[in-house]
Amino acid sequence: MVKRVSLIISILVLCISIFGSYLNVAVLGDVRSLNPFLVKSSAERIVVGYLYETLLGEQNGKIIGTLASDWAVDFSSNSLTFKIADRKFHDGKVVTADDVVFSFKYILEKRLPLGPILAYLVGAEKVDEKTVKLTFRMMNTSMLSFAPMAIPIIPKETWEKIQAPMEFPNIEKPVGSGPLAFDKLSPQTVTLRFFKDHPNASAKLDGIIFHTVQDETMGFLGLVKGDYDYLYWDLDPALAKQVLDNPSKYPNLRIALTDGGSVNVILFNHRKAPMDDVNFRKAVLYAINYKEIIDKVYMNFAQPASVGLLPKSLKELFLDSVGVVSQDVQLAKQFLSNSKYGKETLKMLVSTDKQAMEMAEYIKMYLKNLGINVEIDAQGPEGLTTKLKKADFDLALYSYNLGSHPEMIFYHLHSSRGTIKDGQVTGFNYGGINMKELDSALESIWMAFGDEERVQAFRNLQKLVGEIVPVVPLLIPANVEAYSVKNFSGWVVSESEGVMNTETLKNLTPVK
């Protein structure tokens, strides 16, 4: 009888150990597709990111090879040459140059959403089984940050049979080369197992179960209970403060705070008066009490934005001397008196999420105190995007993610990205900013052929942005990540990558 009990206990311990080797992660939204070209929700974006890889990636702020073991830039021929690492797809087949060439050409031939990233691509050609050459119409150091880091490499053998990729959900047997391979999909979960042939696969974990949740509060409660080990979104500042202020109430929860790379801004619709007037824009810039918003809305889990727009996390490019935004009501009144503003009521487009709405109310109050009348136009994600694309706003609260790809500032501010065609803005310059000197400064970034030249171009841009105020930089929220140590130990917090990084996945060990 004793032996039998011991055997039962051993089996139970083994089962718990096996179950415990899967990390449970909560993600927001549904997973209806695992097609890397058809990503819609945050949950889909996260899962697909583990299944598929690009030629290059980023780690600790530096460009690294993922599927590429080496690469070279040839400015004389406007080309990038990549050596493909000895890697396999999840079905065991070797990743070859044919797969890489196919991936780039397929996007253009099928006119997939990633096509604009390849706007400057002239051709992709196979040099040998493990070498690929990409040729562009023009070349600069920024090219490494775009196409090679954005285009997922797919197996040619599978995808050449897919004639209508935008109608292909890819949920039965998706095959990539990432650190995690597909296992199964249910209405509430996606289970991925570590692909042991991948260099970044965990030796201590079997895989990750992604739980789709529709509400951040429910996700947090699941983390507290121990149902989840990590929340794959920034925790609400009020909840983060609650955890930090009451550690005894949340003994297993940990909060990781790292510098954010997203800059919250006020967009102006430059196509209309008075938003096209620099005096009006500067009046708005100096009217806002940034410290109060950071304190009341973000519980101090944010920092004032630079007047030059770029986040401080871009250490090499950041120009500290331009200073951060600050309130000066007298200066704001002076600029407003010299502006075109005529007491009309302006519409401010905002998202319906909690922080955006709270921030909008504060901004409305500051502008009213200055004499500017603002009416809030709150929209859900779809409505917000539709109005931005139609340029249907006077002011708008928006966010620029510049921490990983500072070159994206070109797409947000250059006049070529703000033209309207068939009733829609053709790029991400929703405000229709159109200033020759700004265009020139942005173009100098694209034409920077060396590191020193690139740094200087970005610093010149920051000075100019501080002078002409095309948008009002507001603040930079910190990355606020929540995780639990109840089921796993070995979490690693990286200043540049946060909690869910390669080192964490390699170090995590089930708690016995």
Residue 76 has phi, psi (to 5 degrees) of -65, -30
**What pLDDT score does 124 carry?**
96
Give, in words, the CATH class of 54-159.
alpha beta
**What pLDDT score does 141 carry?**
66
Measure the CA–CA gap between 56 and 70, rounded to whole angstroms.
9
Q: Backbone dihedral region of 343: left (phi > 0), alpha (psi from -120 to 50 degrees) or beta? A: left
Contacts of 39 (CB under 8 A, 6+ apart): 33, 45, 48
Q: Would you identify the CATH topology of the domain 262-477?
A: Dipeptide-binding Protein; domain 3 (3.10.105)
Q: Letter for the amino acid at 331?
A: L
pTM: 0.83
Q: Letter for the amino acid at 95?
A: V
Maximal C-alpha separation, the chain:
92
Q: Which of 404, 400, 397 is nearest to 417 (CA)?
A: 400
**What pLDDT score does 17 carry?**
40
Side-by-side strand order, sheet with 79-84: 68-74, 79-84, 131-136, 121-128
CA 70 to chain centre: 25
Q: What are the residue ranges spanned by the domains of the chain?
A: 22-34+178-259+480-510, 54-159, 262-477
Q: Which of 174, 172, 35, 177 is nearest to 92 (CA)?
A: 177
The tokens for 177 are 């080369």
Q: Is 63 helix (H, G, I), strand (E, B) or coil?
A: strand
Q: Would you identify the CATH topology of the domain 22-34+178-259+480-510?
A: D-Maltodextrin-Binding Protein; domain 2 (3.40.190)
Supply the angle between the helices 278-287 and 354-370 in degrees, to the nearest 10. Answer: 110
The low-confidence residues of the chain, meaning pLDDT below 70, are 1-20, 60-61, 141-142, 449
